[in-house]
Amino acid sequence: MTNSVPVRYWIRYLAAAALVLSISGCGQKGAKLQKSVVPPDKSLFETGHEYLGKSQYIKARLAFQTLINTYPDSELTADSYMAIGDSFYDEGGTENLLQAEDQYKNFIVFFPTHPKAADAQMKIIALNMKMMHAPDRDQQYSEKAEAAAKKMIEQFPDSPYAEVARQQLREIQESLAKSNALVGDYYFEKGNYRASKGRYQYVADHFPDYSELDEVHYRRAQSLEKTESTDEAAIYYQKIVQGYPFSKYFEEAKARLAELGKPVPAVDPKLAAANQAKLKESAGFNVLRPVIALTEAFGFKGPPDPYQAAKKKVAEKAEAARAQAESGNGKPGEDTLRRTTPRTRRRKRRTRRAQNSREPRALPSAFLLPASI
């Protein structure tokens, strides 16, 4: 009789434990079942990205387009539009890049305030830069890239890509200026001096940052001399003398002014420094260029993708700003708390907690074992 009470309590205890375990098991199964149910739009989106990662572009586009058509109000619709453009961009080739351009333009029209709108515009710049030809060939893609870069600067001035677009615009306009200068050279060599001076004037007016503007001024002055416009020719010789003392045409321009009986101006140091800053190192002939072209033909890495290069520049700038903020390099007397970022403050709090945890503390009495054990 004395042992019946403990047995009864043991039976109740085991029954309760079994009930708790069964409820816990049901809860876990329910959680797994709930986790396995993925919304259909999300499932399509994930499927599209899986195909995109495997370079199965047609299947990827089909998944994204199905999402757009079936779930037009989904929060993933905008990203699906963008992903279709990315699939064409990644697939490459002129036709696919043109398809990507249309898709990105539609994305900006339909979702002008979307966080990825600036990315879409940057990719429009990049894909046209990928299709740009040498200055002595057709410049339609250079002109489209120039227009896209200007639109980025005007429409997304606060985007981190805006500064990159300005740098790309300089590169694009360098190619356009060179192309027009070559046309002027062609007219000059053919003796069509009126056409050549007009083309050189176009370069000077539209591309003031062109790195070879001194040569353009010299060629225009020569064209003007050929058409007996010596007074106007002297103006361009004087531009060379004033602002391009480093030019190979500097001495010749001075000599022409003297022969024409025109005043020879002094060099303007500020103007000369500004013009010299615009100089671009000429690519010239590279003996390795045929080898590079051959390796690219076999699938080896070629020049960096313009969009990826832009992303890298933006990321590096953001990382530099973050590092500077975390280093605490603020103005003298500035409050320390204001100079630190939330991440820095969290790290400091964790450090203090870790230091405190290492200090020996007395255990609560509930955790102390009896002396008899």
Per-residue pLDDT of the chain (373 residues; tens, 9 = 90+): 444 455 555 555 454 445 444 444 544 444 444 445 778 989 999 999 999 999 999 999 999 999 999 999 999 999 999 999 999 999 999 999 999 999 999 999 999 999 999 999 999 999 999 999 999 999 999 999 999 999 999 999 999 999 999 999 999 999 999 999 999 999 999 999 999 999 999 999 999 999 999 999 999 999 999 999 999 999 999 999 999 999 999 999 999 999 999 999 999 999 999 999 888 644 433 434 444 444 555 554 556 788 888 888 888 888 888 888 887 655 444 444 344 555 556 666 666 665 554 444 443 333 333 433 3
Assigned domain for 320 exists: no
Do 230 and 224 form a contact (C-beta atoms < 8 A)? yes
**Rounded distance, CA 107 to CA 120, Å?**
7
Please identify, among 280, 309, 334, the residue that sits at the C-terminal boundary of a domain. 280
pLDDT for the residue numbered 118: 96
Q: How many CB atoms lie within 10 A of CB 164?
A: 23
pLDDT for the residue numbered 309: 83
Backbone φ and ψ of 280, nearest 5°: -120, 130
Assigned domain for 86 exists: yes
Kindly report the CATH number assigned to the domain that includes residue 95.
Answer: 1.25.40.10
pLDDT for the residue numbered 20: 40
Question: What distance lies between CA 371 and its chain's CA centroid?
Answer: 70
Q: Which residues have a Cβ under 8 Å from the Cβ of 163 and sit 6 or more positions away?
A: 317
DSSP track, 247-295 = STTHHHHHHHHHHHT---PPP-HHHHHHHHHT--------TTHHHHHHH
Assigned domain for 266 exists: yes
Do 191 and 169 form a contact (C-beta atoms < 8 A)? no
Assigned domain for 179 exists: no
Please identify, among 112, 133, 151, the residue that sits at the C-terminal boundary of a domain. 112
Assigned domain for 251 exists: yes
Residue 236's domain comprises 211-280
Assigned domain for 293 exists: no
Do 60 and 85 form a contact (C-beta atoms < 8 A)? no
Per-residue tokens: 266: 């002094």
pLDDT for the residue numbered 31: 46
**Rounded distance, CA 48 to CA 54, Å?**
10
Assigned domain for 204 exists: no
Please identify, among 69, 87, 112, the residue that sits at the C-terminal boundary of a domain. 112
pLDDT for the residue numbered 263: 94
Assigned domain for 163 exists: no
Taking Cα atoms as reference points, which of 195, 198, 262 lies closest to residue 239?
262
pLDDT for the residue numbered 367: 32
Q: How many domains does the chain have?
A: 2
CA distances (Å), 3 to each of 6, 7, 9, 17, in order? 6, 7, 11, 22
pLDDT for the residue numbered 341: 53
pLDDT for the residue numbered 147: 97
